[in-house]
Amino acid sequence: MKAILKIISLIGLLLTMIPPVLIFMGSIDLEETKSLMTLGMVAWFGSAPFWINRRTEDGRQKSEVGS
């Protein structure tokens, strides 16, 4: 299940990055780009939270206690 979610997340990121490259190359139009990026956003939002479980290691969050 996690593997499937990771694939969906990767697709989400690809749909975020590839359409802008394609419009820059003149292969697709603006509306198609926006639609694909919206799809990519949904894919990322809908899948990434379920497998990205890393605890915040960086001092930024932990440091707030000492702030």
- Contact between 7 and other proteins (CB under 8 A)? no
- What are the respective helix, strand and coil percentages of the chain, to the nearest 5? 80, 0, 20
Q: Which of 37, 40, 44, 39 is nearest to 29 (CA)?
A: 37
Q: Is residue 44 within the footprint of other proteins (CB under 8 A)?
A: yes
CB of 59 to other proteins, least distance (A): 4
Q: What residues line the site for other proteins (CB under 8 A)?
A: 12-13, 16-17, 19-21, 23-24, 26, 30, 33-35, 37-38, 40-41, 44-45, 48-49, 52, 54, 56-67
